Amino acid sequence: MRTVDVSAVKKASRRSDSDLLAWWREARFGLFIHWGLYAIPAGVWRGKRVPYIGEWMMFREKIPVATYEKIAARFDPKRFDAKAWVKLAKDAGQRYLVITAKHHDGFAMYDSASNPYNVVQRTPFARDPMRALARECRKQGITFCFYYSQDLDWHHPDGAWNTWDYDEKKKDPDRYLREKVLPQLRELLTNYGPIGMIWFDTPITLSKTRSARIRRFVKKIQPQCLVSGRIGHGLGDYSLPRDNFLPPARLKGDWETCATLNHTWGFKKHDHAWKDPQTLITTLVDLASKGVNYLLNIGPDANGVVPAPSARALRAIGAWLKVNGAALYGSSPSPFPYEFPWGRITTKGRTLYFHFFQKPPRSFQLRGLKTAVKSVSALADGKTKFAFQESTDDATGTPVLTIDFKGFKVTRPVTVVAVTLKGDPAVVPGTLQQPDDSLTLIGPMARVGSDAKQPAMRMGGNGLTENWRHPEDWLEWTFTVLTPGTHEVTVVTTHQHLEPWSGGHTLRLTCGDQSLRRITKRERILPGLRSEYFPQIATRFGRMRFDRPGTYTLRLQATRLNLKKSGKTYYSDGGMQFCEIQLRPV
């Protein structure tokens, strides 16, 4: 086995902390690979389709260790081709690759000297696929990273969550760390060259001390190696929201959303719910505009074959990135904290990239950009220039940029226009009414307050409210109306689709002398990207009128919270997860 000179790795990588994330920020898009023994049952156990994600088979069916171990004897992926997998990531335009070195089933998919339950010792394949992948990644210029399940381990007697083979009371988490996690991390960090990141996951039972110990251990061996947010206790180098989560707004700090191409991570033969390239490209853009990396997963089958629909979708994203990559790689989020009805914005220095999800009107308006514009051109050909005009809305003083999109050519599914500025981008800070007269009040732009001394509710880093469990707490927005009129008011809340929705709360909305009161009901789920895994549950509240142009203040207070029905889970505090208020002209 090839070993790396650790002192050389350390020396080469002694960079300041802020530089550590530079490659990852530049990358914006990565390939996740879930591959393990679970690819053999592929979602079916003893003739029965097992619900939920494929790699959770052992847990869902409470398969005894002795039985599950036998699957290894059938693992012989004849068509595994490291070069082709890495080439697929390349073709997709992905810049890093994260693969499951050990998932929750405890099986090491690499040559682990410290634990015999691994792919070399227990399978007829008897090779280390990670060696080949590490080599190929280096050759093809992709940053190689490992996924490692540091808490859940259903194989080790002291690992978390196997209570059908092992007595919970006898578990010693420190022994698990000592015997399995740390020795295996040492192997992963010394035998495969420089590792971009260890992607830790599901820190459900880990104490802060143990998370910190694992982090220190990694950094001591490879100081430049990133540690994912799911190391737990906020100790990661960047943050992760829930799986497949698309935030409602731009986030503060560094984030990554990991996502599935169908509904599972590990291969399942009957999951054909493939996302189409249009959805995936739009999601990539949406996330980049909010400062979030996209880590998109494939689950190769037991033979080592990447499902054809996954490969097709990834290549379609790559084709789009070939033309439009300048607007994505190394981009910063939009200077505007909110989404636009027409698409999204990414930023690179003094250039703003407008990503249109549909063809814009010939006379297109952007409100709120304070910096003067130098030029507007199509990204796809770099030649087509568009005329523009800068003005100010008389009544509110809002800057308005009007672009004449004569000759606009659509590139499916997202067309990018580069807007070069004369200075650094600066925008009007509050919420503005959009040219289609709509207004959207998002959580992260609200003031959080309370009739009590201190609000118990807070805005979570992921853009949703946390701990909204007290009727004294409220959110308040100030926004600017340019075109007076009457608006239909809708409140949108959400939940993770497999967990209970916290609804039935009585909410009061007040704006000047207007007041609306309703109970949140699942009246309809808004269509769109975000709803697939986090249904956007809309409740209509009635109408509000804004009689004159100018600024308004609106307060949202939950006067009665219905918390009995909404259960707390490992992830959710059971309170109302508020997304936004939509004000739409009638």
Q: Which residues bind ligand FHN (CB under 6 A)?
A: 53, 55-56, 201-202, 243, 258, 265
Rounded to a whole number of angstroms, the minimum distance from the CB of residue 510 to ligand FHN is: 39
Query: Positive or negative, the Cα torsion across 235, 241, 244, 250?
Result: negative
- Our CB check for ligand FHN shows the closer of 165 and 243 to be 243
77-81 long-range CB contacts below 8 Å, 24 or more apart?
77/125, 77/129, 77/300, 77/302, 77/303, 77/304, 78/303, 78/304, 79/303, 79/304, 79/305, 80/125, 80/129, 80/300, 80/303, 80/304, 81/304
Residue number with CB closer to ligand FHN (33 or 133): 33
- Helix 208-221 to helix 182-190 angle (10° resolution) is 20
Angle between helices 82-92 and 129-140 in degrees, nearest 10: 40
Over the range 152-185, which residues count as b (16 or more CB within 10 Å of their CB) and which as e? bbbbbbbbbbbeeebeeeebebeebbebbbbebb
Nearer to ligand FHN, 28 or 344 (CB): 28
Q: Are 388 and 373 spatial neighbours (Cβ–Cβ below 8 Å)?
A: yes
Residue 366 phi, psi (nearest 5): -120, 125
> Residue 310 Cβ, how far from ligand FHN at the closest point, in Å?
15
Q: How far is the CB of 371 from ligand FHN (least distance, A)?
A: 38
Judging by DSSP bridges, how do beta strands 96-102 and 143-148 pair with one another? parallel
For tokens 């739409």, name the residue: 584
Which residue carries 């007290």 as its tokens?
470
Cβ closest to ligand FHN, residue 56 vs residue 294: 56
We find the least distance from the C-beta atom of residue 168 to ligand FHN, in angstroms, to be: 19
- Please check whether residue 111 is in contact with residue 119, taking contact to mean a CB–CB distance below 8 angstroms: yes
Query: Minimum Å distance from CB 383 to ligand FHN?
Result: 42
Which C-beta is closer to ligand FHN: that of 54 or that of 360?
54
Question: Is the distance from CB of 541 to CB of 507 less than 8 angstroms?
Answer: yes
Which amino acid is present at 226? L
Q: In the bound complex, what is the minimum distance in angstroms from residue 164's beta carbon to ligand FHN?
A: 18
Q: Which is nearer to ligand FHN, 45 or 386 (CB)?
A: 45
DSSP H or E segment with residue 402: strand 399-404
Nearer to ligand FHN, 53 or 97 (CB): 53
CB of 450 to ligand FHN, least distance (A): 32
How far apart, in Å, do the first and last CA atoms of the chain sit? Answer: 69
Nearer to ligand FHN, 55 or 466 (CB): 55
At closest approach, how far in Å is the CB of 277 from ligand FHN? Answer: 22
Q: Which helix (H) or strand (E) holds 54?
A: none
- Of the pair 244, 480, the CB lying nearest ligand FHN is at 244
Rounded least distance, CB 34 to ligand FHN, Å? 6
Nearer of residues 104 and 344 to ligand FHN, judged by Cβ: 104
User: Quick one: angle between helices 308-324 and 277-289, nearest 10?
Assistant: 50
For residue 202, the minimal CB distance to ligand FHN (Å) is 5
Q: Report which of 472, 352, 471, 474 is spatially closest to residue 416, judged by C-alpha positions.
A: 352
